[in-house]
Amino acid sequence: MNRIALSHEPVAVEPLLELDTHPECGGLALFVGTVRDHHEGRSVRHLKYTAHEPLAAKVIREVEHSTRERYGVPYVRIVHRLGDLAIGDIAIVCVVRAPHRAEAFAACRYAVDAVKHGAPIWKEEFYTDGSSAFVEGCCIRDDLDEPDTASHRHHSHASHG
Amino acid sequence: MKPIVFELFANLERLAGTKECRIDVDGGVATIGDALALLAQGHPELAGSLERCACVSGDTIVRRADPVPADGRIALLPPVAGG
């Protein structure tokens, strides 16, 4: 599969929708994550996404596959932007085509959450005071039994959504 | 035995001030866990962050108990925050 999962260039939404195919589908759910101008009370000027690209691309393809299987939907497509982004730029796009809206919404939400929690992508925020910081995220070790994993993941999801 | 090269990402790269850390090893290093212990000794600035890092060889997550990859390269991935 040579469809890109990671893009160093701005992401165009329209080509990802595949509106001219999937005639059996009556629902299209689209999530577009954009760069926000604040984070936990701090004013954000711009940010930078970096990734471990081989694993991040693999995780995104696995999430697309597992989402199709889990929700029985024919088309799931996710692209995550990398590099320097300005406020309002597109960070992530997730498109789901489905016969009906219920599974389209559910699958889209599941896929976005799975990428945020599992793909090795990092967000470095640059603040208006000139400082910068990496946003605290989710540990993706699979051999660590952290007692607070569940609550941590919840916190992370809520604060970065 | 050839050196082990750790590739650093995100905050780890910032803490170490470099994208790669190379450690020379003798015969006593068998597992990734062994190699991480040596890295922590040689780079105390990273020691506190290693517990929550995933280790990756190629495009695959490997575990602390696994042997050091044949190519001697281990990517250290701190907690992720995409989207």
How far is A101 from chain B, CA to nearest CA, in Å? 23
HEC-encoded secondary structure of B44-73: HHHHCCHHHCEEEECCEEECCCCECCCCCE
Query: Does residue B46 sit within a domain?
Result: yes
Is residue A154 predicted with pLDDT exceeding 50? no
Answer yes or no: do A140 and B9 touch at CB < 8 A.
no
Find all residues with CB under 8 Å of A135, minimum gap 6, and list them. A39, A122, A123, A124, A125, A160, B81
Task: Please tell me the predicted confidence (pLDDT) of residue A87.
Answer: 98
Query: Does residue A1 sit within a domain?
Result: no
**Count of structural domains, chain A:** 1
Give the pLDDT confidence of B20-76 residue by residue, as tens digits.
999 998 878 889 999 999 999 999 999 999 999 999 999 999 999 999 999 999 999
Is residue A1 predicted with pLDDT exceeding 80? no
Residue of B9, B63, B75 with shortest CB distance to A50:
B9
* CATH value at residue B60: 3.10.20.30
Domain holding B28, by residue range, is 4-77
DSSP 8-state code for residue A47: E
Query: Does residue A135 sit within a domain?
Result: yes
* Arithmetic mean of pLDDT over chain A: 91
Residues A73-102 have a mean pLDDT of 98
**Count of structural domains, chain B:** 1
Query: Does residue B21 sit within a domain?
Result: yes
Query: Does residue B56 sit within a domain?
Result: yes
Query: Does residue A142 sit within a domain?
Result: yes
Domain holding A49, by residue range, is 6-160
Task: Please tell me the predicted confidence (pLDDT) of residue B2.
Answer: 82
Sheet containing strand A90-98, strands side by side: A6-7, A75-81, A90-98, A27-34
Query: Does residue A132 sit within a domain?
Result: yes
Query: Does residue A77 sit within a domain?
Result: yes
Residue of A58, A80, A116 with shortest CB distance to B59:
A58
Range in A70-84, A89-103, A141-155 the model is least confident about: A141-155
Residues of chain A that touch chain B, judged by Cβ-Cβ distance less than 8 Å: 33, 49-52, 54-58, 80, 91-92, 112, 115-124, 134-144, 156, 160
pLDDT tier at A2, thresholds 50, 70, 90 = low
Is B66 in contact with B31 (CB distance < 8 Å)?
yes
Is B55 in contact with B64 (CB distance < 8 Å)?
yes
Answer yes or no: do A137 and B59 touch at CB < 8 A.
no
Query: Does residue B82 sit within a domain?
Result: no
Q: Complex ipTM, two decimals?
A: 0.94
Residues of chain A with pLDDT > 90: what percent?
A: 86
Separation of alpha carbons A96 and A90, rounded Å: 17
Query: Does residue A98 sit within a domain?
Result: yes
